[in-house]
Chains A and B, each alone.
Chain A
């Protein structure tokens, strides 16, 4: 939700062009209308995972609004890893931003997702390979740069460039994997925050979230938290346990959305953990 807001704000602030805004608005209107008609099928969509729908759309002759929406949502979420990858490849700030947006526009215009490999089925690998092909094709790139992205405009915070400059240990691929993992975590935490807010527990979430990953109970300052939140220590312990359980389920759902088979979730999580620990 936070990212969605920042996206909207960035459209207002971003001087790229009115064309982009018009394309974006048109796209949103189209998909919204279609989604209203298909409201009943939306839950099913998330159950069957967005990636599966994109793969199915690639097989069908007509472009499904539903799959386009799923793809654009995935692009919105995973925009940043691609951008960071390009920056680590030596592209300047503006070029990297334009290329990323251009790539997504190109992907949807040309129905590039129809080339997705059903056997491998990793959205992470699919996007990176697609981006590499895209930047290797200068003609397509020029085309994309003229048209712009129009679907996803993500405002990068000021800290991003500093972080990219500081990540000297890793090459572009490693940074891409790390960013991918961070996106999944951010997405899961965002959903968890939203659920807590709906339940009227936003404040409690803010208090417990920093301790979500604590493996040692002794490192959680329950006493201090209890004073601040006016809750018993034992209650806080259970709150944290429940929050962790729910976060875990959401994170797995997010990862499930990027792989084809449920059995691949653990494998993908382990891969990303190793990428993060590869320092």
Chain B
């Protein structure tokens, strides 16, 4: 919960205004109510959980345990829980995402659709997309799961929340990597549908070598260090998109998402306007989400805020972008213009991945480490100094003549 004003509390998960549910003290009633949804199969989760904890195997994957015997949980989201696991056949460590019961749907058809979409997503190979090794369904419980490469690092969201916004150069580098991945996805007719800072992993430098980056590429990236306020961290690590295609896989069945109305999939703050409309989506929806994500990366804020999905939706359509945030973050005019074009309401007006790549290339070619505000001040200062010097020498040049004449005169 976060205070939106002295009077209003909002739920960060669903956007409901808490005080008007007349039970602000309890938390978000909608979220607490939604926990109960999920069919009778999920009610037996108590026993399922016990079985799950006793024998944490999903096909060839076995979830690792911590020292205290608990399962090695890496993260938890709306769709499921991610664990660190090991492929017993290949002896390879993986990240195993176990989809919550009820999300992929209880019917055989729903599971088939899940697997179809999942197969398409798994076929996508790109250095900036976390590789998916296998999708499956655990027969004992009907739980869907998938194994993907284990990435050692943190999400973009965690990085920004921990260390503050990224500098412009790092943001452009990240954007270039993501746009490259989106271009590859577009060729296959795929899209992410839930692109957001929490779905972008920043790979640790050492790890990037392990996963097969070329030596030159790693060296090039590791050389780029931020000079901002002594934060001596890698500012431009390798980026990998996680959960690519999963949103589609889980949204395809009508009964797939036990969320609120209209099976909305995505994170409202980063969702495109057409996602709210339940309209047909293409890669330009991801471009919008990427624009909002880059905005967050460079400013630490989201472009359109709201207390509810409806307010965010209205803000997207009616409010002007708060470009002052970009200026305050010393974003160049070229990048500002690009971000604005990515965040327009009309999908057709947004750049496609190949155009995005070209414009990012232009942005990255701009002088680094010098802020445009500073450039302007420097230019003005040079102009003033030059003008002063000119006037000074002009006036004093005349005096010098007089002075020089005096000795001569005395002589």
Contacts of B72 in A (CB 8 A): 234
Task: Say whether, besides A237-B70, A246-B46, A274-B261, A182 and B26 are in contact (CB < 8 Å).
Answer: yes
Q: Name the segment of B9-17, B171-179, B244-252, B326-334 touching the other chain.
A: B9-17
User: Residues of A at under 8 Å CB distance from B?
Assistant: 84, 160, 163-164, 166-167, 169, 175, 178-179, 181-182, 184-186, 188-189, 210, 212-219, 232, 234-235, 237-238, 241-242, 244-249, 251-252, 255, 262-263, 265-266, 269-270, 272-274, 276-277, 279
Shortest Cβ distance from B73 into A: residue: A237
Chain A min CB distance to B348 (Å): 31
Q: A235 to B157: give the CA distance in the assembly, Å.
A: 25
Contacts of A276 in B (CB 8 A): 16, 21, 29-30, 33
Within 8 Å by CB of A251, from B14, B36, B68, lies: B36
Contacts of A213 in B (CB 8 A): 13, 27-28, 31-32, 34-35
User: Residues of B at under 8 Å CB distance from A?
Assistant: 12-14, 16-17, 19-23, 26-40, 42-43, 45-46, 49, 66, 68, 70-73, 75-78, 81, 155, 157-158, 198, 258, 260-261, 308, 310
Q: A266 to B42: give the CA distance in the assembly, Å.
A: 11
Q: A184 to B28: give the CA distance in the assembly, Å.
A: 13
Chain B min CB distance to A126 (Å): 20
Contact A178 B22 (CB under 8 A): yes
Contact A252 B36 (CB under 8 A): yes
Contact B45 A185 (CB under 8 A): no
Contact A179 B22 (CB under 8 A): yes
Contact B29 A241 (CB under 8 A): no
Contact B26 A273 (CB under 8 A): no
Within 8 Å by CB of A245, from B34, B37, B49, lies: B49
Given contacts A217-B77, A279-B16, 16 further A-B contacts (CB under 8 A): A178-B29, A182-B23, A182-B29, A185-B26, A186-B23, A189-B32, A212-B27, A217-B76, A217-B81, A218-B198, A238-B70, A241-B49, A262-B40, A266-B37, A273-B34, A276-B29
Task: Say whether, besides A160-B22, A277-B30, A270 and B49 are in contact (CB < 8 Å).
Answer: no
Contact B35 A251 (CB under 8 A): yes
Most buried by A among B31, B33, B34, B70: B33
Contact B73 A210 (CB under 8 A): no
Shortest Cβ distance from B65 into A: residue: A234
Chain B min CB distance to A188 (Å): 8
19 A-B pairs with CB atoms under 8 Å apart are: A84-B22, A160-B22, A164-B22, A181-B30, A181-B33, A182-B22, A185-B26, A185-B29, A185-B32, A216-B76, A216-B198, A218-B157, A238-B70, A248-B43, A252-B43, A255-B36, A262-B40, A266-B37, A276-B30
Chain B min CB distance to A68 (Å): 28
Q: A247 to B31: give the CA distance in the assembly, Å.
A: 12
Shortest Cβ distance from B22 into A: residue: A163
Contacts of A182 in B (CB 8 A): 21-23, 26, 29
Q: A164 to B14: give the CA distance in the assembly, Å.
A: 22
Contact A217 B75 (CB under 8 A): yes
Contact B33 A279 (CB under 8 A): no
Q: A254 to B89: give the CA distance in the assembly, Å.
A: 46
Residues of A contacting B: mostly? helix
Contacts of B13 in A (CB 8 A): 213-216, 219
Chain A min CB distance to B151 (Å): 16
Contacts of A166 in B (CB 8 A): 19-20
Within 8 Å by CB of B12, from A217, A219, A244, A273, lies: A219
Contacts of A252 in B (CB 8 A): 36, 43
Closest 3 CB pairs of A and B: A217-B76, A213-B31, A276-B30
Contacts of A247 in B (CB 8 A): 32, 35
Within 8 Å by CB of A249, from B30, B46, B157, lies: B46
Chain B min CB distance to A111 (Å): 32
Within 8 Å by CB of B14, from A163, A179, A277, lies: A277
Chain B min CB distance to A176 (Å): 11
Contact A215 B31 (CB under 8 A): yes
Within 8 Å by CB of A181, from B29, B43, B45, B258, lies: B29
Contact B49 A242 (CB under 8 A): yes
Chain A min CB distance to B242 (Å): 14
Contact A273 B46 (CB under 8 A): no
Q: A38 to B26: give the CA distance in the assembly, Å.
A: 35
Shortest Cβ distance from A255 into B: residue: B36
Contacts of A215 in B (CB 8 A): 13, 31, 76-78
Q: A217 to B12: give the CA distance in the assembly, Å.
A: 12
Chain A min CB distance to B367 (Å): 36
Contacts of A181 in B (CB 8 A): 29-30, 33
